[in-house]
Amino acid sequence: MKRSNDISACIYGALETYFKDLDGEMPGAVYDMVLRSVERPMFEVILLQAGGNQTLAASMLGINRNTLRKKLVDYKLV
């Protein structure tokens, strides 16, 4: 299935490669792997775009600042 040139296309391609590279092995915890792979760079880029302002970054993401702060701590970005 071909997708347009956007973020979902990148993820789709990466997952296709991931499963191809498994070469028949059973994958594990794909959901968590994908979320972690997407969230960390997203938070890094948004923080850069917000000039490090967590309140602005949270607003840009559409999440609560406390939620953002917890994620930043989880990913050791603060």
CATH code at 60? 1.10.10.60
Looking at every residue in the chain, the average pLDDT score rounds to: 93
Residue 47 domain flag = yes
Look at the alpha carbons of 58, 63, 69, 73 in this order and tell me if their dihedral is positive or negative: negative
Give the residue numbers spanning the domain of 66: 7-74
Q: Do the domain assignments include residue 2?
A: no
Q: Is the model's pLDDT at 75 over the cut of 90?
A: yes
Q: How far is CA 5 from the centre of its chain?
A: 17
Domain count, the chain: 1
Prediction pTM value: 0.79
Flag whether 67 is in a domain: yes
Residue 1 lies in a domain: no
pLDDT tens string 44-70 = 999 999 999 999 999 999 999 999 999
